[in-house]
Amino acid sequence: MSLREELLAQEYDERTKPRGFVYFTDADGQVVAKTCRKCGELKHAKNYHHKSDGFGQLGPYCKTCVSDRDREYYDKNRERLKRVKYAYYRRKRAEQLSLNLFDDNE
Ligand SMILES: [Zn+2]
């Protein structure tokens, strides 16, 4: 049974919005499931991070898409992040050496 069938069986209200966006609400109007803006899959509210100003107080992307995006960001910026770290290391190292040099001259 798909999540949609399950939600319908539990008598949640199915609502649709333009561009294939679907969501389900309970009797209190609370969003119990909605379509992820990225992968387009209908997912239960527990698969979304909380976002107070989001639709149904949920983030627009499911947790899977959020972690995929974070990993992609890291992969894309891996070289740059490495360079930043290395530059910091070099600067600290140079500082350390110049201090030692100064100590030796005393
Ligand atoms: Zn998703």
Q: 39 C-alpha vs ligand 1 centroid, how far in Å? A: 4
- pLDDT category at 101 given cuts 50, 70, 90 is confident
Q: Are 76 and 64 in contact (CB under 8 A)?
A: no
Span 44-86, pLDDT tens digits: 999 999 999 999 999 999 999 999 999 998 898 998 989 999 9
Centre of ligand 1 from the C-alpha of residue 43, in Å = 8
- Cα–Cα distance for residue pair 24/8, rounded to 1 Å: 9
State how far the Cα of 38 lies from the Cα of 1, in Å rounded to an integer.
23
SS3 34: strand
Nearest-5° Cα angle at 94, 89 to 98: 150
| Confidence label for 100 from pLDDT (cuts 50, 70 and 90) | confident
**CA separation for the pair 4, 68 (Å, rounded):** 24
Residues with CB under 5 A from ligand 1 (ion): 36, 38-39, 62, 65
Alpha carbon of 35 to ligand 1 centroid (Å): 8
101: left (phi over 0), alpha (psi -120 to 50) or beta: alpha
Q: Give the alpha-carbon dihedral of 20, 23, 29, 32, to 10 degrees.
A: -170
Amino acid in position 104: D
Ligand 1 centroid–CA 67 distance in Å is 10
